[in-house]
Chains A and B, each alone.
Chain A
Amino acid sequence: MRTRRISFLARTTVQYLVLLILGTAFMVPVIWMLSSSLHDVQGVFALPFKWIPGIWHWENYYRVVTLLPFGRYFVNTLIITVPYMLFMVLSSSFAAYGFSRLRFPGRDKLFALCVATMMLPGQVTIIPLYIMYSKLGLVDTYWPLIIPAVFGSPFYIFLLRQFFLTIPRELDEAALIDGASHLRIYWSVILPQARPALATVLIFSFIGSWNDFFGPLIYINSPEKATLTLGLNLMKTQILGSGVVEWNTLMAASVLVLIPNVVLFFLAQKQFMRGINLGGIRG
């Protein structure tokens, strides 16, 4: 009995130790970034590195905004992301309703096609899309970054269909008997029931649009229309090209860009985990 207890204790200790080592390895870059962002220009080059700056230079964060208009980039990114999320959740749930609640010839083949396009590498369509948007005069506008959401995305259609299938059919049948149309059932029966899954799609699509770099990189040319990711890349180019590299300012800018992601994660941890379970890849 006693040896068992000791071996249990030993095992737990080892597990914590390994977790702590790996956890530290994952956290150190973040702490290093925060610490660098609070040093002065020369402070980051001190050897050995001072993890806690002598004086905390909070003004680095202000300097970020004076170098490039990050407030504006923030608003620009919101202008793209908010309609993107809303369109995405509406259109994807609409198609998911069709795929999960209605019968029509070719439905399962269409759904298989939809799922298959998830695997498609974007490069194979990007050039014609760019030519198309440029012929429509939409290059250097936000439309090419929003329009795809209007038609839904296979991944979200798939997730939502999985969730809709778990909603009892009795609910819509009762509504049908009361004479409700499918549009009405979709809107007043299914969507309210599917709120948790809709939240997951909102959050995933927020992350997707907010973090997008390739899209803005090719479609947005005017510096004042830049998104946060483009702005950060602009700042990197500007700072690396100057005589004394202001790593502190660059780290402060990175921290600023990362804050929304981190805040969102802590607000919506549950939705993240649900999304993974909905994917249905657990054994």
Chain B
Amino acid sequence: MIRRHFTGYGFVAPWIIGFILLTAGPMLYSLYLSLTRATLLSPPKWVGLNNYLHMVADDPLFYTSLWNTVYFVAFSVPLGLLVSLILALLLHQRLKGIGVFRTVFFLPSITNMVAVSVLWLWIFNPEFGLINTLLDAFGIRGPLWLQSESWAKPALIIMSLWGIGGTMIIFLAALQGVPQNLYEAAELDGAGKIRKFWHVTLPMISPAFVFNLIIGVIGSFQVFTQAFVMTGSAQPGSEGGPNNATLFYVLYLYKKAFQEFRMGYASALAWVLFVIILLCTVALMKMSKSRVYYEGMDQK
């Protein structure tokens, strides 16, 4: 018996070692670093809660980056969920050639974020870009997009909608998993299309909805690559412009850690982000618990 336990631990040992060396250990160390003044070369010097106090009391860029990120999350996640659900519902129809559309909607999501960012940098070009030349055709003068303080974030949100393929596929899989007999039963009860959607489809796909919501929130809080590639001038350090309108939280953290090498302060930023994401996740899970239908729940 003991030998058998030993085998079990043996199989999961690589993961456990990795967890200790690459996750748990570094996490604790970064918590320690967040209480110190540390650069890459000098040994960390204990400063207690100073980093956190500085962040809250006199670092306006902390608030700017947090606000930018919350703005991005607040728009890109709900819009993304809505659009991907609509696409999934359309793809769920039995129509000829539907596979082509599925590919068209899904493909952008697995492509490379840097290449996609470079492409959209060109699309948002105020004079010659795709969007503004199209708007021009309708006599509308388009905004400066990434060069405008008020339009830079909306631009990145619009772009994020191009990458919702993964979310859509998860909705589609959920839709395909709804038992047909539920619809038949609803029809027998005289339910129309809209009622069937509200009372059968939505409850049955609610786990997928919650999953997509939580994954979306976690992912969007960490938005980085688009902002890094698409904003600022050619000089390193200028990312996040114009006037810090796209200075997202992780971009700010990156600058502190890997351009200024203020490892202690950056660790404090990382822990604050971690706590925010954790709280959001827990809150969303709690909120959804009473509203989500899981299969087998009513068989007690």
Contact = CB atoms under 8 A, between A and B. Distances in A.
Do A and B interact? yes
Interface of A: 12, 15-16, 18-19, 22-23, 26-30, 32-33, 36, 44-45, 47-49, 91, 94-95, 97-99, 102-105, 107, 110, 113-114, 117, 119-132, 134, 147-148, 150-152, 154, 157, 182, 186, 207, 210-211, 213-214, 217-218, 228-229, 232-233, 236-238, 240-241, 247, 250-251, 253-254, 257-258, 261-262, 265, 269, 272-273, 276-277, 279, 281-283
Interface residues of B, number: 94
Contact of B111 (A23, A49, A262, A282): A262
A228 B233 CA distance: 21
Given A27-B104, A134-B40, A282 B208 contact: yes
A213 B114 contact: yes
Contacts of B185: none
A124 B274 contact: yes
Contacts of A126: 26, 257, 270
B218 to A, nearest CB: 6
Contact of B14 (A131, A151, A211, A273): A151
B238 to A, nearest CB: 11
B4 A119 contact: no
A257 B114 contact: yes
A113 B19 contact: yes
A126 to B, nearest CB: 7
Interface in B83-127: 87, 90, 93, 95, 98, 100-101, 103-108, 110-115, 118-123, 125, 127
A182 B177 contact: no
Contact of A125 (B30, B87, B110): B30
A114 to B, nearest CB: 6
B15 A236 contact: no
A281 B208 CA distance: 6
Nearest to B29: A128
A15 B96 CA distance: 11
Contacts of A281: 170, 173-174, 207-208, 211
A69 to B, nearest CB: 17
Contacts of A49: 128, 130, 133
Is chain B's interface secondary structure helix, strand, loop, or mixed overall? helix
Contact of A105 (B5, B177, B204): B5
22 contacts: A28-B130, A29-B162, A98-B9, A98-B12, A102-B7, A119-B214, A119-B218, A123-B250, A125-B23, A127-B257, A128-B33, A154-B15, A211-B111, A214-B225, A232-B115, A254-B115, A258-B115, A262-B111, A277-B173, A281-B208, A283-B204, A283-B205
A94 B10 CA distance: 9
B68 interface: no
Contacts of A132: 26
Interface string B8-45: 11111011111101110111011001000000100000
Given A26-B104, A102-B7, 12 more contacts: A22-B90, A44-B128, A47-B133, A91-B14, A154-B15, A213-B229, A261-B112, A272-B169, A277-B173, A281-B173, A281-B174, A283-B295
A123 B26 CA distance: 10
A129 B111 contact: no
Nearest to B277: A121
